Amino acid sequence: MSHKLIKKIIYTGTITLKTGMHIGGTNSALNIGGPDKFVVRNPINNIPYIPGSSLKGKMRALIEIANGETNNGNHSSDPKSKSGKLFGVAGDKGGTPSRLIVRDTELDIHAVDFSNTDLPYTESKTEVSIDRITAKSNPRTLERVPAGAKFKLNMVLNIFEDDDEEALKTILKDAIQLLEDDYLGGHGSRGYGQISIDDLKDEEKTYNE
């Protein structure tokens, strides 16, 4: 297999939250009266973001599930599988490099009005779980980026000499569609993390011509 790079396809777009989203950060300090679980934020400007690892990992998992490629909950080790072709395979399992780069996605703080949120760019949502035996309630508060917020999507698809470009683009398209029909972040079964990916554009940059 040739590892000669032919082109890069730069994908840009907007991730729009249709419901509130929680991707957990580090609870680095005791915050009395505040949320029990915080979202991940840029430590320099305190703005929430979606880690590229979370976005890429979710898309890979959905492709594997959709194509029956999981192995006891582990990533597929077959470089010829759809997930292996796009997302790569670890060196000790065949050593196929990932074709997809997924950047951390920055919250667009100017796209919507955050002036009414009770935390900087986020909301706090209190939930109560009930012990089915004792009927004792256990309230907890989670921080969420609210519905309507928009993030700046940026991904790069690397095309090498022996790659099937159309197949890779189709797998990525399927991953995006599966993600829109699923959820991003935690607590998706309770309504969190429904998204849409809007205004998706691609730009090609060729090499070695």
Residue pLDDT, tens place only, 107-154: 999 999 999 998 999 999 887 666 667 756 667 788 999 999 999 999
Evaluate if residue 30 carries a pLDDT over 60: no
Task: Name the DSSP class of 118.
Answer: S
β-bridge mates for residue 138, sequence order: 129
DSSP 3-state percent helix, strand, coil across the chain (nearest 5):
20, 35, 45
For the chain, how many structural domains are there in total? 1
User: Which amino acid, 113?
Assistant: D
* Tokens standing for residue 19: 């419901």
Residue 186 belongs to domain spanning:
5-206
The SS3 assignment for 92 reads helix
Structure confidence by residue, pLDDT tens digits, 14-25: 999 999 999 986
Strand ranges, E, within the chain:
5-17, 49-50, 100-102, 105-107, 123-130, 137-144, 150-160, 195-206
